[in-house]
Amino acid sequence: MPLLEVNNLSVAFARYAGGFQRRMEQAIVGLDLSVEAGEIVAVIGSSGSGKSLLAHAVLGILPGHAQVTGTIQYDGEPLNERRIAALRGNEIVLVPQSVSFLDPLQRVGAQVRTTARGTDPTATVRSVFKRLRLAEAVGRLFPFQLSGGMARRVLVSTAAVSAARLIVADEPTPGMQAEDVNETLSMLREMADKGSGVLLITHDIEAALRVADKVAVFYAGTTVELAKAADFAGDGSNLRHPYSRALWQALPRNGFKPLPGTQPSQDELPSGCLFAPRCPFATEACSAERPAIREVRGGWTRCFHAS
Amino acid sequence: MLRNLCAFAGWKAIRLVLLLAAVSVISFMLIEWSPIDPVQAYIGADMLRVGPEQREAIAAYWGLDRPPAERFFKWAAALLQGDMGTSMIYRQPVSQVIAERFAASALLMAAAWLLSGLVGFAAGVIAAARRGRLIDRAVQWICYTLASTPPFWLGLLLLMTFAVWLGWFPVGLSVPAGVLADQVTLADRIRHMALPALTLSVAGIAPVALHTRQKLIDVLSSDYVLFAKARGEKGAGLLLRHGLRNIAIPAVTLQFASFSELFGGAVLAEQVFSYPGLGQATVEAGLRGDVPLLLGLVLCSAVFVFAGNTMADLIGRMIDPRIREGKVL
Ligand code: SF4
């Protein structure tokens, strides 16, 4: 049984577009994903594809006007509002995206301690700070006194001091020095090895592939492929979806071949396959209907023509 | 830190001196150009019995026959030596008139200031915490109604209801008429102050409440409140730790910076309730061309407003760690 299982999750926001016209903006469209205990699942995709909303949806902190459909199961039971309210901060923690998630008027040490568990929370904080090369004095600073890289490490430490079974890390590494990236990733790996599940949301594919067990490829608000990290190898022929392959080939080490075109805007999604406008293999059938997710070669993909 | 503070004090002192100089010159010029003839205003109802020679004598006595520039510099020179001149309408030294009036007004303004600050802040917090609910809409509705009500009209309404019809409070003045000064009790003073203070504070509640509400709503939808929730914080604890802490600084700053509105409101409220405070004295001095008193009052109110703004700055500096522990002055 997976620790976290997201089925057909959609998140939409009502937007007032000129005059009194109200239109729904689909931020996440029929997303499927699962995380087993002891593994890191990386969610990769370019920025602006709704990845942060996935994190917020799992933690139940989406804004009030968001309309959510689909199911999120944790530990085999639906993660409803009541249940997540009791679990977050204890069993489920978030590593947020930027320093703006720290209260500007509270010392960072106090903020990190709210998630610290164990017999001696202060000692836990101290040892985690040490590993992340944060001086003890950093705990007495206010967020505005942190450098960008320091702030990132403080944010990561909020998860590392916890005893959480599920860690949702939303872009934890950008702006960090290589050393800190490594330390952060190995910390997440350690937590996974101790039996926690980690959902690592990132646009840094290379970093993600170093520690992840599985990869979910995110495009225009949905997962187009769920693959093993090992499938990202060679020329990418083990991958199942044309977008995954394009992402893989766009990496510097694979020749930097960029994919032409841009992601569709979330309020003008194509009616068929979301990737059809940019897909070199698109056929008429692709624009007629959205491909459902299906199993292909031990992974999952949303493509009519994958085999 | 200490050096910062000294620089701050020095800078503020220079600003104050410049401000006072400018305010004196401008007020003097305005009075000079105003259509009110101080001699006539001084004589008042006795107009018909005073001949031209006597008028000249009066003008000479008050120095009103001299050119304006000369009078101004004479007044300024005396002021520098601590002499604010003599009030024409009260025939007392200006400093004494102001001191007496200030005592009465200070009580009134302090009561109104505290009341509007506390009630406004509480109403704003409740509205924001219950955003979109009935109580929020009620608070907003009341605030917009209050904000669009002229204070003097509100004062008259209160006066009619509570003083005239119900007779709970006296109609005017700051102490009961015909009672010796040393027999006036604190209860008497409070009874006389209640309605003007209420009028004055009601006018101040709406902006404080609406501002607090908006700020708290912003804070509650901020990333850091989201993350606090994600860390398991909730309810009153969350509101207290992250919400109130973050709106306290702007609220306190705003409250101290509102001294000018407070003074402006006091002028109206005191007029409606014939409450003998600074505001009423200002109206009198203006209408009857009492130049020394008016200038004295203008200077005092400028110092008062300036003190409020300085306090706002200083307190902001002391309680905001971003300024306190940062490098910015
Ligand atoms: S379904 Fe069609 S358009 Fe979509 S990815 Fe597959 S081949 Fe391309």
Q: How far is B122 from chain A (nearest CA, A)?
A: 21
Residue A77, helix vs strand vs coil: strand
Tell me how far CA of residue A9 lies from CA of A29, A59, A121, A201, B167, in angstroms: 7, 14, 36, 16, 67
Please judge whether A103 and B321 are an interchain contact, meaning their C-beta atoms are less than 8 angstroms apart: no
Closest residue in A to B319 (Cα) is A105
A242 CB near ligand 1 (under 6 Å):
yes
Which ligand 1 atom minimizes the distance to the CA of A280?
8
Amino acid identity of A178?
A
A279 CB near ligand 1 (under 6 Å):
yes
pLDDT of residue B41: 67
* Sign of the CA dihedral running A179, A183, A188, A194: positive
A303 CB near ligand 1 (under 6 Å):
yes
Taking Cα atoms as reference points, which of A113, A111, A101, A104 lies closest to residue A59?
Answer: A101
Query: How far does the centroid of ligand 1 lie from the alpha carbon of residue B106, in Å?
Result: 77
d(CA A220, CA A51) in angstroms, rounded, equals: 10
Mean pLDDT value of segment B36-57 = 69
Least confident among A112-126, A209-223, B63-77, B107-121: B63-77
Per residue in A276-301, pLDDT tens?
Answer: 999 988 888 898 888 988 989 988 99
The dihedrals phi and psi of B60, each to the nearest 5 degrees, come to -65, -40
Per residue in A184-197, pLDDT tens?
Answer: 898 899 999 999 99
pLDDT of residue B260: 84
What residues have CB less than 8 Å from A196, skipping those under 6 apart? A37, A38, A164, A165, A166, A167
pLDDT of residue B328: 44
Closest residue in A to B323 (Cα) is A144
Per residue in A238-267, pLDDT tens?
Answer: 999 999 999 998 888 887 888 888 888 877
Tell me how many degrees the CA angle B229-A144-B219 measures, rounded to the nearest 5: 40
- What residues form DSSP beta bridges with A66? A13
Q: Residue B172, class by beta-carbon neighbours within 10 Å (0-12 exposed, 13-18 middle, 19+ buried)?
A: middle
Query: How far does the centroid of ligand 1 lie from the alpha carbon of residue A152, in Å?
Result: 37
A90, A111, A145: residue with CB nearest B325? A145
Neighbours of B214 (CB within 10 A): 14
Q: What is the mean pLDDT of chain B?
A: 82
Q: How far is A114 from chain B (nearest CA, A)?
A: 7
A275 CB near ligand 1 (under 6 Å):
yes
Neighbours of A97 (CB within 10 A): 20
- B303 and B23 Cβ atoms separated by less than 8 Å: no
Query: Tokens 């499927």 sit at which residue?
Result: A32
Closest residue in B to A161 (Cα) is B231
Least confident among A76-85, A148-157, B273-282: B273-282
Please judge whether B230 and A145 are an interchain contact, meaning their C-beta atoms are less than 8 angstroms apart: no
Contacts of A101 in chain B (CB under 8 A): 223-224, 226-227
A42 CB near ligand 1 (under 6 Å):
no
Distance between first and last Cα of chain B: 9
Contacts of A114 in chain B (CB under 8 A): 228, 231-233
A281 CB near ligand 1 (under 6 Å):
yes
Which ligand 1 atom minimizes the distance to the CA of A285?
2
Ligand 1, atom 5, residue with closest C-alpha: A303
A197 CB near ligand 1 (under 6 Å):
no
Per residue in A203-227, pLDDT tens?
Answer: 888 889 999 999 999 998 888 999 9
The stretches of chain B forming alpha helices (DSSP H) are 2-33, 38-43, 52-61, 68-80, 94-129, 134-147, 151-158, 186-220, 223-230, 235-238, 245-257, 259-272, 278-287, 291-319, 321-324
Please judge whether B232 and A158 are an interchain contact, meaning their C-beta atoms are less than 8 angstroms apart: no
d(CA B296, CA B279) in angstroms, rounded, equals: 13
Per residue in A2-43, pLDDT tens?
Answer: 999 999 999 988 877 666 677 778 888 888 999 999 999 999
Q: How far is B230 from chain A (nearest CA, A)?
A: 6
d(CA A239, CA A307) in angstroms, rounded, equals: 10
Strand order, beta sheet including A77-78: A22-35, A4-16, A66-74, A77-78
What is the maximum alpha-carbon separation in chain B?
A: 86
A293 CB near ligand 1 (under 6 Å):
no
Query: How far does the centroid of ligand 1 lie from the alpha carbon of residue A276, in Å?
Result: 5
What residues have CB less than 8 Å from A226, skipping those under 6 apart? A32, A33, A34, A214, A215, A216, A217, A293, A299, A300, A301
B222, B230, B249: residue with CB nearest A88? B230
Per residue in B139-150, pLDDT tens?
Answer: 999 999 988 888
A94, A100, A105: residue with CB nearest B230? A94
Q: How far is B205 from chain A (nearest CA, A)?
A: 27
Is residue B329 scored above 80 in pLDDT? no
Per residue in B190-238, pLDDT tens?
Answer: 777 888 888 888 878 888 999 999 999 999 989 999 999 999 888 888 8
- What residues form DSSP beta bridges with A35? A4
